[in-house]
Structures are given as structure tokens and as C-alpha cells.
């Protein structure tokens, strides 16, 4: 049986990934809304370059931050969807904290059905292909794919957690619900931009 500490750690990984996703989404949107305005508020780097066009204010900071956050949630969500053990771990001595590992501790049809849907969405939604061919291996012949409906994958993970918690009263205090994570993430981004807008 799965111990509560491991479940809590698993939920923490999902929350961290979802927080990266939410901060990425809100940060990207808010920056996009201000790019035109900030383009006219450029600060020259030094006197010799003062007549050159440097583009948008915060030009170097936000594109790097947005891409880093995107890669962060893509990789962390992919790790959550990894197999329970690496193929070379034939003795199963080094489990991975993943959906497969969590479900391997239960013999429950509802939990198994939820996991099947998560794994299917992970593959069909383009996330696995993107992770394997671009983020992990930087394949030169890989055409960028559109990753769709990521929120649904997170909601399915949240549903899985609820089903796991229903199996044992000892799990009830584990983790935070995803809607709390989204609220904190959006609030944090909006506070940042309120200060930048002053």
C-alpha cells in the first residue's frame, strides 16, 4: 500500500508542475499585452548605443523567463507521466514518482481507468512527442507540434488524486487542490505586473 508521505510528494510534484504552467500562461499573456506600450519606454544600455533601437523594455528578461517556465512545466509533467521504472531497472529497485508508480500500489478499476485516460491524453495531446524529440533530444528533423488541452491533463491528474484519496482516510490531508495553485499563481503574476506598471 502507498504511504501518505509518498502520495504527498507526488501531489507536490503535480502542484509544482501546474504552478509552472499557470505562471507561464499568465506571464506570457500579461507580457504580450504590454509589449507595444513598453516598446516606447526603452532605456538605452549606454551612451554610445542610445540612438539604437533595442526593442521592447524588459526585452531580454521575459522571453527567457517565459521559455524557461514553459520547458519547466513540460518536463515536470512528462516526468509525472513516465513509466514506474526505467527499462534498464529490471530488478525494480529505483521507482520513479509517476502516475504508473502510484497506480501500481492499487487494485482499483476507477483508478486504472483514470490512469489510462491520463496516459492516452499525454500521448495523443502531443506532449510525449514534444518532450522526446525536442526538449530531451533536440531532434533537428522534429517539426514543432501543437500541444493541446494541457489543462485537461492536469484536471485528470487532480481527479486521480481524489480517487486515490477516497481509498484511505490516511490520505485525506495529502496535498493541495489544483484550484488553489491556480489562484496563487495568477495572483502572483498580476502583483508583479501591477508593480511594473507603476
SS3 call for 168: coil
Cα–Cα distance between 5 and 139 in angstroms, integer?
38
pLDDT in tens, 38-61: 776 655 554 454 445 555 567 678
pLDDT in tens, 125-143: 677 777 777 777 766 666 6
Q: Which residue has the cell 492516452?
A: 120
Cα–Cα distance between 55 and 76 in angstroms, integer?
32
**Widest CA span in the chain:** 69
SS3 call for 92: coil
pLDDT at 112: 87
Return the ∠ at Cα 187 (arms to 185 and 188), rounded to 5°: 65
pLDDT band at 9 (very low <50, low <70, confident <90, very high): very high
- pLDDT > 90 in the chain, percent: 34
pLDDT in tens, 140-197: 666 666 677 788 889 999 999 999 998 888 888 888 778 888 899 999 999 999 988 8
Cα–Cα distance between 66 and 26 in angstroms, integer?
10
pLDDT at 26: 94
* Straight-line distance from the first to the last Cα atom of the chain, in angstroms, rounded to the nearest whole number: 53
pLDDT at 43: 56
pLDDT at 50: 47
> C-alpha grid cell for residue 4?
501518505
pLDDT at 141: 67
pLDDT at 128: 75
What are the boundaries of each domain within the chain? 4-36+62-84+97-165+173-196
pLDDT at 64: 87
Mean pLDDT of 95-99: 94
Amino acid at each position: 500500500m502507498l504511504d501518505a508521505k509518498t502520495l504527498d510528494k507526488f501531489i507536490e510534484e503535480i502542484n509544482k508542475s501546474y504552478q509552472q504552467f499557470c505562471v507561464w500562461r499568465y506571464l506570457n499573456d500579461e507580457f504580450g499585452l504590454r509589449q507595444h506600450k513598453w516598446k516606447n519606454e526603452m532605456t538605452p544600455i549606454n551612451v554610445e548605443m542610445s540612438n539604437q533601437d533595442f526593442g521592447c523594455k524588459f526585452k531580454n528578461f521575459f522571453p527567457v523567463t517565459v521559455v524557461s517556465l514553459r520547458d519547466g512545466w513540460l518536463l515536470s509533467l512528462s516526468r509525472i507521466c513516465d513509466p514506474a521504472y526505467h527499462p534498464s531497472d529490471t530488478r525494480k529497485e529505483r521507482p520513479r514518482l509517476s502516475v504508473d508508480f502510484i497506480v501500481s500500489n492499487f487494485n482499483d478499476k476507477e483508478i486504472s481507468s483514470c490512469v489510462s485516460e491520463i496516459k492516452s491524453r499525454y500521448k495523443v495531446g502531443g506532449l510525449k512527442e514534444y518532450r522526446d524529440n525536442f526538449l530531451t533530444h533536440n531532434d533537428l528533423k522534429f517539426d514543432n507540434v501543437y500541444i493541446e488541452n494541457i489543462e485537461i491533463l492536469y484536471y485528470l491528474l487532480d481527479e486521480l488524486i481524489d480517487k486515490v484519496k477516497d481509498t484511505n482516510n490516511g490520505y485525506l490531508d495529502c496535498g493541495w487542490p489544483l484550484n488553489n495553485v491556480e489562484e496563487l499563481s495568477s495572483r502572483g503574476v498580476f502583483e508583479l505586473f501591477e508593480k511594473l506598471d507603476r
